Structure 1
Amino acid sequence: MALARKKRRGFRKKKRQPLLRFIFRALVAVFAFSVLWTLAYRFVPVPLTVPMIQDYAGGRPVRRDWVSLERISPDLARGVIAAEDAKFCAHDGFDVAAIEKALEENEEGGRLRGASTISQQTAKNAFLWPGRNFVRKGLEAYFTVLIEFLWGKERIMEVYLNIAEMGPGVYGAEAAAEYHFGKSAAQLTRTEAARLASILPNPIERNAGTPGPFVRRHSSNVQRWIGIVEADGQDDCIYG
């Protein structure tokens, strides 16, 4: 009887081993693919994002024109730091204090708010799909760690400013500058850069070219903050 039980246990163990090896190899393959994918985007422009694909699938025109960070007004990079992620150069992808504050406000029944850094938004835009479920957020955290480690801040900002939606079907700083102001991203004034930074949370309903009261008011603050970002060296990881 005891011998039979030992044989059954040995059989089950042998049966599990191939399955565990398969799972391990699959996980290694997925990890290797994600690292190679991330490394590729370190050197080449991001060809498509899920929102772009959705626009194409819906028959909507897509405007985009990838340019290097050197061909984008520094005031736009400073503007998105000021408006979206003041600690961009100081954190390693996650603003822990902002996350804790958001959780506290959400638990207290306040307006639901996020705490995504520019790095997190870049990871989401470049590799993933829109959404707030735990799987997507977990993958966002994973890719955020990868780009922080493999890209560095300058490349993160360059990718962010080239794939962020800045109008209906308008992706990236160059296309946005042409769409809203009829000029290149390198020629943006501080006022125009502040307006573009101000519409980023809601680029469909907000318009940088013909701003409503909120965008005018918010962009006026962002324009002032841009000067602070430059004076305090909050952009040193990009322009230092």
Structure 2
Amino acid sequence: MGNRAKRRSKARRRHGPVRRALFFLAKLVLAFVLVSVVWVGVYRFVPPPITATMVGDMISGRGVTKDWTALSHIDPDMPRAAMAGEDTRFCQHDGFDYEAIRKAFERNEKAGRVVRGGSTISQQTAKNAFLWQGGGYFRKGLEAWFTFLIETLWTKQRIMTVYLNVAETGIGTYGVEAGAQRYFGHGAGTLSRREAAQIAAVLPLPKRRAGTAPTGFTRRYGNTIQRRMGVIRRGGLDSCLR
């Protein structure tokens, strides 16, 4: 065997483990992509049976109360309230509101801490339905991927439906139907504007904010949401849900 052939043989032996590792990694990525696409595809038609946050409540002994409700059986003021509180451009963006992200970054940089996020309802739905709470770049990366998938494979109506059914509306309480029953004693189909705004005001911090008789910031935030709801209705900003 010549020197050149020997060098090629040594190079193959040296690079063999690297190639195998890369091939294995590629297979893992492909498997993840396929599984996630199927998972999101199934949830387009099937209600998510459980989420990571629900599991956490079960483990802690708090229990879980939820009652899946179709968007057509939820008062239209509830999705308007969710948009007013979380994502006014829900019907216009493709899952990522880059202007909101920029403003949130500038606000947080000025304050020197995170005072407000720029997540859309689509991003929050992806996180709530498929992932776990908390930050970190890895989870954020997964959130972006699942946001892209639901915006591609679901309709806006489906995204809002899942959001309003898996979002935590109180300790151990999930979805606006369970939240309405807990706070007001009736279903989400007969929510008043004020009640819808109060539930929306709870959504960012459901374990620490009161849905009934809110005080302080929660009460003021609910009033702000109620005013914004009128703007959304009059401006037709919720047209993708009709």
TM-score (norm 1): 0.94
Task: Provide the aligned C-alpha RMSD in A.
Answer: 1.5
What is the correspondence of 1:14-29 to structure 2 with a 5 Å cutoff?
16-29=18-31
**1:31 corresponds to which residue?**
33
TM-score (norm 2): 0.93
What is the correspondence of 1:137-156 to structure 2 with a 5 Å cutoff?
137-156=140-159
**1:123 corresponds to which residue?**
126
Q: Does 1:100 align with 2:137?
A: no
**2:139 corresponds to which residue?**
136
Q: How far apart are residue 7 of structure 1 and its match?
A: 1.8
Between the two proteins, the alignment pairs up a number of residues equal to: 239
- SS of residue in 2 equivalent to 1:166: strand
**2:45 corresponds to which residue?**
43
Q: How far apart are residue 210 of structure 1 and its match?
A: 2.1
**1:217 corresponds to which residue?**
220
> Aligned partners of 2:77 and 2:37: how far apart in 1?
32
**2:86 corresponds to which residue?**
84
Q: How far apart are residue 176 of structure 1 and its match?
A: 0.4
Q: Deviations over 1:187-211 (max 9, x none)?
A: 1111101111111111112112221
Q: Deviations over 1:127-168 (max 9, x none)?
A: 011111110111011100000001121100000000101111
Letter in 2 for 1:40: V
Q: How far apart are residue 235 of structure 1 and its match?
A: 0.2
Letter in 2 for 1:198: A
Q: How far apart are residue 13 of structure 1 and its match?
A: 4.8
Q: How far apart are residue 51 of structure 1 and its match?
A: 1.1
What is the correspondence of 1:156-175 to structure 2 with a 5 Å cutoff?
156-175=159-178
Please list every run of 5 or more consecutive structure 1 residues that lacks an aligned counterpart in the other structure: none
Q: Deviations over 1:40-90 (max 9, x none)?
A: 110001111111101111111211000111111110000010111011111
Q: Percent identity among equivalent residues?
A: 49
> Aligned partners of 2:221 and 2:107: how far apart in 1?
22
**2:58 corresponds to which residue?**
56
> Aligned partners of 1:19 and 1:204: how far apart in 2?
44
Counterparts in 2 of 1:109 and 1:208: CA distance versus 1, 3 Å: closer
Counterparts in 2 of 1:5 and 1:104: CA distance versus 1, 3 Å: same
Letter in 1 for 2:101: I
Q: How far apart are residue 103 of structure 1 and its match?
A: 2.0
Q: Does 1:198 align with 2:205?
A: no
Q: Does 1:189 align with 2:192?
A: yes
